[in-house]
Amino acid sequence: MEQRYRLFIFEYNENIVEALQEIIGESHNFLTKNFLTHGEEELKNLDVYPDLILFNAHDDRDIDFFSTVIVKYFSEASVLLMINDEHEKKITSMPVFKKIHVLYKPVPINLLFDSIIHASGELNTFDKKDIVLGKGIINFQDKSLKNNFGKKIYLTDKEILLIKSLFEENPNSLTKNQLLQKIWGYADNVKTSTLETHIYRLRKKFRDVLEDDSLIIFENGGYRIKL
């Protein structure tokens, strides 16, 4: 059976929504939900989680809503963000989702649909894949770490994003600034010990479950994961 993805569309121009729905309607890969207004109350009561989000930012208020409310509820989703050129600088300090694609307007409707198809093709990269790490396995789907004897613990969202980021770059390393921007959306050269605290806690969990606290390595000015 072909995989179907939940697509949330945040667009309050009904003409754009109708045009996009007409094209998407020809595909059976998506279960769509439209949000014609950008309000938090509607998101609080949702009982489903999106695989992919299409968000059209018309002004600074939309950018603020995206970087605060959307990331609050859907930080594990992949995102297609449509912006104008003047918003480019503002998104550099925005929290980063699982994967984010920035599209500069105007975006032809056919190109937008192609971008949705491309983004959906990336969704299975990690979500349904386990990786062997030291004497155990990390399951990205249920966010767990399990050793060879069956001992299992659960990791936080940020810990999973940190492991994913290091895994994607392996065998290369990522600097502190790169990780802070990629995972927490911090601007360059922010003074914070957030990263060091998360790495300390991860190393402790690796030691407790895998009997190895050397799986995250700092060398050449950056961090990498030892697989």
Q: What pTM does this model have?
A: 0.57
If one counts every other C-beta atom within 10 angstroms of the C-beta of residue 185, the result is: 16
State which fold the 5-121 domain adopts: Rossmann fold (3.40.50)
Ranges of CATH 1.10.10.10 domains, the chain: 130-225
Distance of CA 114 to the CA centre of its chain: 20
What residue spans in the chain does CATH classification 3.40.50.2300 cover?
5-121
Fold (CATH) for 130-225: Arc Repressor Mutant, subunit A (1.10.10)
Distance CA 90, CA 77 (A): 20
Q: Mean pLDDT, consecutive 10-residue segments, the chain of 227 residues? A: 77 86 74 86 81 92 89 84 84 65 88 87 64 86 86 90 87 90 78 93 95 92 90
